[in-house]
Structure 1
């Protein structure tokens, strides 16, 4: 009779206050009683098991007493996802590489992938079975070329990987900007206008990754944005709309993982952008989508030809999924509004909604234009009447009242909304007229000042393109809280302000 196999050794779960971002990380002691640490040196990933529950994680080995010899420490993300109490007994085994990596290698070698191969890759990425290096390999391979069939399969796989929302009405409208323009917080004005009219607009937005503020970061200055699916549905039922963080409702979760690897590599292919945006809108239950494509020298799209190619790609994918997509181009030559950073952008939004005479005109007009397009999806509204209706809802105060209803329904925010009290002004080096503003430069400068982590950090703009300036006159003011960030931002602004100023006579002579 064959001897019974020995039961695998077990370790007790311990939670450690270690923020590892989105990565699952576990730690064992080199003196572990159950595991020989040297066996795991060749494995970057391991599986921990308790009953039928399995978690894949990156293994670290420590000598410093962080974890006892009979314990396994789970960093915060891993502990949250494993969802077992401290003291639970688990087994640990090396994790075999995901089978879908074979498809990634095929993609790197120039092969087009089948739908089921793309499904498997996205499933493994969503389950945190891929390391960042393996995700990067998939992204780089896809950036080399992607067929239309692969694009459709990727969009579908990403949309189906997480929560998929359904709404009772036949029409659910939404808008999305591809980003890159500082201060472009039109969603926070469009949503209350459209919701006040009576259309359903459940807006899920992202947090900033490389920008100084995402819509969710700015809305969090005014109200809570970490809202679950059931609560989101209640808010939309009561208010026709919401402004929440999409990551909390798990829409297209693979997208957030892919983006976190794309951005440091400066990968931003058109196909991956379209799959990212359309997958989230499909998962959100949208039926009609307005896409904003800013065009400008330092925007993501430098000219109208680039915008046209991207527009056709959005329309192609939208048609394949039965999503009505309308794409418009907008002015991306300079920031929108007067503020860059969550608190300053929230001030701009509320000034527009309050009909403050000092509210930024460009933010107001762009928001009305976008809202007009969405309102004209309403069959009861005559063609061409969208702008007048949007303006009436804004000027009558209906949009502001709707915004307050949404804020009350989402609940108060607990973040600090004070404006940074360490400030310096960046001044014009000569007399003349502002001829250009570098959006990318100002984005980076605002992040250097501390935004969006410090919501009150950022930049208040005093001058826009076409404005006359005199030497020594302030172009913008930088707000920060931290002395080291102040010094870094000041040095960066002194090296390159992001503003181009030409003599007035040259500006007049320009066509």
Structure 2
């Protein structure tokens, strides 16, 4: 172990779920230890230690030769003050990388292998490159159902697990891929108003135009401490919070940080990710929504049925009551795509506004009704009517307002971005199809979710007749550069398909 100490310096760089350290090339410790860029190092201060990936710096304005710099994540994890003395040494070798190499070679891994891998990832012994190797090795169809179970168990064990002390703790999750599908923000107040416990912890968007947490943030605070989250749920029977502060299955968050930019989203990894998070959140009853459509994540009914079987197998093994519903994923749900526009849609439904998106209302009622039927006092088939009554009576709106106040209500402004581009029909016809991927991409290029007011507002959905010049949708942006990028993307592909025929592709046609 090197005995020479360096002075700690905080480097204001967000390295997103990866500990990064910075040493000057002329640093005596760097030269003496023979470190190289991307070497993993161990950093100690005041009895605490962390592991980090090393970046080498030639600019003394960033770090001087007598300093060690830490990225925001690493600095917070070390929990030491700036200018304190730190020591640096080579990190221990991650022994579980041997299991990753075996998986790359096509071998089947054991529960012990997955536990070793996830523990090393949680301890920051893996760089993002090594996590990418693990994700690629286990991607596509390279995990059998038992390995998916092992990975789920292993990820669950790396973080906290909430226990609500109740026999029925409900939750729902959509596998994603459908823009505007903000049903959770309607399901939670409906189910909570029925009296069932539904502590909803949600993610932020990584490559999509909005996650539930991004949209809820328009209405209320979502960064809740574990204590505040518990207090709100105990008082109001539900919440809509960001899951990142609760440290539930943290390895899942670390893997997602690598997985999404690579575009890796295999079924096995997705099932392990969803179920480890839900089990860690204390859920006992879970409804899974699998949208199916030509531009959804799941494009054929046979794939949806296979995914449902995988969810059910793992859920049964882990003693969670799980039901899977397969829904129509032909087009975006609701009108808005992007945080502000999606939050507007949600509140219109809760307020029973005549102009509220009917598809968002209908799907939310169906999902809420299925969850209400988890209640042993509710007969099968009665859930939808109960959910509809809760929504129509205003009880769901009252519950949502209470949850918002509990979390910390924000001043609401549904005004979209200041730059607007109208996309018009080039000919008369019927909207035959809307490309989910392209619409999400347009909204994201326009600035969503970082710019909360950016996004896409749909004026026409499939099956609707349009005349030449009718506005199909509007693109909103906060900055001219994003606006121009989005406009060029629309000109390349509007995402809409118009047909002269009255018949529009039916749901069964691609299932």
Deviation at 1:160, TM superposition (A): 1.4
* Residues 28 and 72, structure 1, Cα contact 8 Å, conserved in 2: yes
Trace 1:170-181 onto structure 2 (pairs within 5 A): 170-181=167-178
* Residues 368 and 391, structure 1, Cα contact 8 Å, conserved in 2: yes
Distance 1:500 1:62, change over 3 A: same
Deviation at 1:415, TM superposition (A): 9.8
> How far apart, CA to CA, are the structure 2 residues paired with 1:293 and 1:423?
33
Larger displacement relative to structure 2 (196-205 or 382-391): 382-391
Q: Which residue of 1 aligns with 2:318?
A: 321
Distance 1:32 1:185, change over 3 A: same
Task: Name the Cα RMSD after superposition.
Answer: 1.9
Deviation at 1:43, TM superposition (A): 5.5
Deviation at 1:343, TM superposition (A): 0.2
> How far apart, CA to CA, are the structure 2 residues paired with 1:253 and 1:261?
13
For 1:36, what is the secondary structure of its paired residue? helix
> How far apart, CA to CA, are the structure 1 residues paired with 2:273 and 2:73?
23
For 2:286, what is the secondary structure of its paired residue? strand
The structure 1 residue matched to 2:118, chosen from 94, 116, 122, is: 122
Q: Which residue of 1 aligns with 2:23?
A: 28
Q: Which residue of 2 aligns with 1:155?
A: 152
1:204 aligns with 2:190: no
TM-score (ref. length: structure 2): 0.96
The structure 2 residue matched to 1:140, chosen from 136, 139, 163, is: 136
* Residues 423 and 473, structure 2, Cα contact 8 Å, conserved in 1: yes
Trace 1:107-506 onto structure 2 (pairs within 5 A): 107-143=103-139, 144-413=141-410, 418-504=415-501
Deviation at 1:412, TM superposition (A): 3.0
Total equivalences in the alignment: 506
* Residues 220 and 415, structure 1, Cα contact 8 Å, conserved in 2: no
Larger displacement relative to structure 2 (412-421 or 350-359): 412-421
Deviation at 1:326, TM superposition (A): 0.5
Deviation at 1:382, TM superposition (A): 2.3
> How far apart, CA to CA, are the structure 2 residues paired with 1:376 and 1:481?
43
Residue-by-residue CA offset, 1:188-245 (whole Å, 9 max, x unaligned): 0000000001000000111111110000000000000011211111000000000001
Distance 1:44 1:371, change over 3 A: same
TM-score (ref. length: structure 1): 0.96
Residue-by-residue CA offset, 1:442-478 (whole Å, 9 max, x unaligned): 0011000000000100000000000001111110000
Residue-by-residue CA offset, 1:272-331 (whole Å, 9 max, x unaligned): 111111111110111110000101000011111111101111110000011011001111
The structure 2 residue matched to 1:100, chosen from 73, 77, 96, is: 96
1:89 aligns with 2:85: yes
1:49 aligns with 2:47: no
> How far apart, CA to CA, are the structure 2 residues paired with 1:415 and 1:116?
49
> How far apart, CA to CA, are the structure 1 residues paired with 2:117 and 2:457?
43
* Residues 416 and 455, structure 1, Cα contact 8 Å, conserved in 2: no
> How far apart, CA to CA, are the structure 2 residues paired with 1:45 and 1:326?
43
Larger displacement relative to structure 2 (25-34 or 244-253): 25-34
* Residues 291 and 326, structure 1, Cα contact 8 Å, conserved in 2: yes
Deviation at 1:73, TM superposition (A): 1.2
Any stretches of 5+ residues in structure 2 without a counterpart?
A: none
> How far apart, CA to CA, are the structure 1 residues paired with 2:410 and 2:302?
42
Deviation at 1:505, TM superposition (A): 5.3
Distance 1:369 1:60, change over 3 A: same
Any stretches of 5+ residues in structure 1 without a counterpart?
A: 1-5
> How far apart, CA to CA, are the structure 2 residues paired with 1:293 and 1:274?
12
Deviation at 1:416, TM superposition (A): 8.2
Q: Which residue of 2 aligns with 1:3?
A: none
The structure 2 residue matched to 1:12, chosen from 2, 7, 12, is: 7
Distance 1:80 1:415, change over 3 A: farther
Deviation at 1:488, TM superposition (A): 0.6
